Amino acid sequence: MTEESMAKIVVVLNHDDPQSVMAALVMAAAIAATGDQVLFFVQPGAARILATGGLEKYQNLKGQPDPLQLFDAIQVLEGRIILCELGLPVWDMKAEDLVEGVETMMASTFLFEAEGAKMVFSY
């Protein structure tokens, strides 16, 4: 699939409850698996999931896939995982606390990145 034929699809994660986190990860991984470009934008309320070790607490949820495998699949399939910069000070985190490959940007910058998205999912 050429970059021109790829649809851009946005997944926004606002909360760190298990249902929201898992739904967002499943959707983002599924989008990436279709060959479309996924922009997975994590708001401050869910920022802690992107800290090293943050996804481990969502492992072994009954009937749910492994969140680490979903996260890895998103990255391997060239999905972008982006944290709103405001999530760092809210949780006293630094960029070096984040899982490798996570980008940080302000919401206003993300809006430019998301321009032309075919669909948006919010959890």
- What are the E-state strand segments in 1-123? 8-13, 37-42, 80-84, 103-105, 119-122
For the chain, list the domains and their CATH numbers: 3-122 (3.40.1260.10)
Per-residue confidence (pLDDT) for residue 6, from 0 to 100: 83
The mean predicted confidence, pLDDT, of the chain is 96
pTM metric for this prediction: 0.94
Between CA 98 and CA 13 the distance in angstroms is 16
Structure-token pair, residue 93: 């985190």
Residues 6+ away with beta carbon under 8 Å from 54? 48, 99
- Give the model confidence (pLDDT) of 58-86 as tens digits: 999 999 999 999 999 999 999 999 999 99
- pLDDT bin (cut points 50, 70, 90) of residue 5 is low
Structure-token pair, residue 45: 């309320």
Rounded to an integer, the average pLDDT of 105-114 is 97
